[in-house]
Amino acid sequence: MEAANSKIGSVVDQLLLYCYHYDPVTGKYGMVIMTVIRISGTATVLVLAVFMVAMFRRDRKAKSEQRSVGHTEVKV
């Protein structure tokens, strides 16, 4: 990194600077990216759960409609 010239560096350097930040209270570098990954993982699980519930309800509704219509289909 070229701090003397007010340059941050490459895209990889910028990403690393974003992911790791210095915590003056603990005197250590923390990972911001872990919070982002945890939030993304939780959001993914919630989206999949909502999708599965919607599909199960749709399937159950289609089966109940098929039963209520009965066997009125004419087979040739």
Q: What is the pLDDT of residues 37-68, one digit of tens each?
A: 889 999 999 999 999 999 999 999 998 888 88
Q: Is residue 71 assigned to a domain?
A: no
Count of structural domains within the chain:
1
In three-state secondary structure terms, 8 is: coil
Q: Is 17 helix (H, G, I), strand (E, B) or coil?
A: helix
pLDDT digits (tens, 9 = 90+) for 18-39: 777 777 787 776 777 778 888 9
| 14: in domain | yes
Classify residue 74: in a domain, yes or no.
no
Report the interhelical angle of 32-69 vs 11-19 (nearest 10°).
90
**What is the extent of the structural domain holding 41?**
3-66
- Mapped onto helix, strand or coil, the DSSP state of residue 30 is strand
Judge whether 75 lies within some domain: no
Whole-prediction pTM: 0.55
Question: 36 phi and psi, to 5 degrees?
Answer: -65, -45
